[in-house]
Structure 1
Amino acid sequence: QEGNVYFDTKKPWKDPEGMQTTVACCLRALNVLALVSFPIIPDAAEKVWKMLGNQSLLKDQNWDAVLETSIPPNRTFPKPEVLFTKVEDETIGRELEALKTALERQKT
C-alpha cells in the first residue's frame, strides 16, 4: 500500500525528470516484497521475481543481495502473468456446503 501511495504522490507520468528515480524505487520495493513474501506464498513470489526480469531463483537469494540489488536501466521485462486466479463466490459457497456435509457425516 505504501508503494502505491509513493507512486501516486510522485506522479511519474507528470514528472519526466523524476520518473526514472520513482520507477526504480518502486521496482526495488517489488524486489524486496517478493523476498519477504517468499516464505508465505513462494510460487507467487517467484513469479513476481521473474516478472521483474531477474534470472536467478528467488529461493537462492538472501536479504543482503536483494537489498543491494537495483534493476538496471533499460531492462526489458517479460510479459506479466496472473499471480492468483479469482475464486468466485459461487465456488466458495459450494465448497463450504461440501465441507458442512462432510462434517455432518463424520459426526454420525
Structure 2
Amino acid sequence: MKQAAIYVRCVRPDASSQEQKSACLQAAALHGFEVSEEHVFTDHGVSGLRVRHRSGLSALRKTLKDESMEAVVLQDLSRLSRDIRQLAGLLREFEEKGVRVIEVGRGECRR
C-alpha cells in the first residue's frame, strides 16, 4: 500500500490534536494511503507564521528526505504555514521530492 505522513499543528498548547489526526487518517485512507504511527508529526503551541523551531515539521521534512513517502496529509495548508512565501517554499520542496499534498476535505493540492 502507498505510504503517507500526517502533519498536525495546534496553536494552543492545550488543544487536542486528535480531531485533526482523525480527519487526516480518514482522508489518507480515502486516497488509498496507509499511515503508520511514526509518520504522524505534531507541533503544539506554535504559530503558523514561522517554520523554524517546529520540531514536528522538521521531523516531517527529514522523513521526506530519508524515506519514500508518497504524500503528506493535513487539515489545510495553513497548518504548514500562514506565510505565503514559506508555504510556497514548502510546497515546492515537497513537489521536488515527488510528494503529494492532500488537504482534508479538499483533496490533492496542485501548484
User: What TM-score results when the alignment is normalised by the length of structure 1?
Assistant: 0.25
More strand by share: 2
Quick one: higher RCO (CA 8 Å, sep 6+), 1 or 2? 2
Structure with max Cα Rg: 1
User: What TM-score results when the alignment is normalised by the length of structure 2?
Assistant: 0.24
More helix by share: 1
